[in-house]
């Protein structure tokens, strides 16, 4: 995440951000997605998770975002496997990320392809997950254990965002967002297991679609507005 912020600062100071407009944005959004955990179980399961987020855009092609996420992660043992690990993790997570858009590196021009590519973004940050886990006892598979923990994680994000509604000044009003994220878990515990045979690291992935409602701020004009017409 520090690299993202450092890159943004360098771009501001060197004047290499091209053709940016004077307004700033705040977005509020959310949507559904699919989460898959890769932990100690042989067979990862994909479950539904939902997110809400808020982001601040000091320029149109960079944002700092806060996201809350809620869903379920799980995995099961493979048939005839000696690995009995199986778990269900009902989790809540919050993350803070910085995200930079591809269009920050070149000017909006006449090429339709380049204009479309400028909406791809990537970023990284830090987050915390609160887990409520039920897992199979590996020494007595008929027993189910209950584990609660709090985990730290590092999200690496990527996606594509585009405007679907604009106001009368041709500024964004409503955005569609297609996002993906890789969440590296710091330490053990995503599946509730802390044995010596646990994986060297756990992670989960999240693919989501959502909408962002945009509030435009014009400091130079001394007013904020958000109108359809």
Q: How many residues does the chain have?
A: 229
Whether the Cβ atoms of residue 192 and residue 150 lie closer than 8 Å to each other: no
- Domain region containing 152: 2-225
Whether the Cβ atoms of residue 26 and residue 64 lie closer than 8 Å to each other: no
Whether the Cβ atoms of residue 215 and residue 26 lie closer than 8 Å to each other: yes
pLDDT tens for each residue of 109-144: 778 888 889 999 999 999 999 999 999 999 898 999
The more confident residue out of 200 and 41 is: 41
Highest average pLDDT, of 2-16, 99-113, 149-163, comes from 149-163
CATH number of the domain that residue 118 is part of: 2.40.160.20
pLDDT tens for each residue of 165-180: 999 888 899 999 999 9
User: What pTM was estimated for this model as a whole?
Assistant: 0.85
Per DSSP, the three-state class of 51 is strand
Residue 146's region, left for phi above 0, alpha for psi from -120 to 50, else beta, is: beta
Angle, vertex CA 36, rays to CA 89 and CA 49, nearest 5:
70
**Residue 201 in this model has a pLDDT that exceeds 50:** yes
Percent of the chain whose pLDDT exceeds 70 = 86
């Amino acid at each position: 995440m520090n690299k993202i912020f450092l890159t943004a600062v360098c771009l501001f100071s060197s004047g290499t951000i091209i053709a940016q407009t004077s307004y700033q944005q705040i977005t509020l959004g959310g949507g559904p997605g699919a989460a898959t955990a890769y932990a100690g179980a042989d067979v990862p399961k994909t479950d539904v998770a939902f997110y809400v987020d808020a982001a601040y855009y000091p320029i149109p092609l960079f944002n700092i975002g806060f996201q809350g996420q809620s869903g379920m992660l799980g995995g099961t043992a493979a048939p005839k496997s000696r690995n009995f690990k199986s778990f269900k993790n009902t989790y809540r997570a919050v993350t803070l990320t910085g995200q930079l858009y591809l269009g920050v590196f070149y000017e909006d021009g006449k090429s339709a392809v380049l204009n479309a590519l400028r909406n791809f973004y990537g970023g990284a940050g830090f987050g915390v997950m609160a887990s409520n886990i039920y897992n199979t006892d590996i020494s007595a598979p008929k027993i189910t254990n209950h584990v609660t923990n709090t985990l730290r994680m590092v999200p690496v994000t990527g996606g594509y965002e585009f405007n679907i509604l604009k106001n009368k000044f041709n500024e964004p009003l409503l955005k569609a967002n297609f996002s993906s994220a890789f969440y590296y878990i710091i330490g053990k515990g995503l599946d509730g297991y802390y044995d010596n045979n646990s994986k060297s690291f756990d992670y989960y992935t999240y693919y989501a679609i959502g909408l962002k409602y945009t509030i435009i701020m014009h400091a130079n004009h001394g007013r904020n507005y958000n109108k359809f017409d």
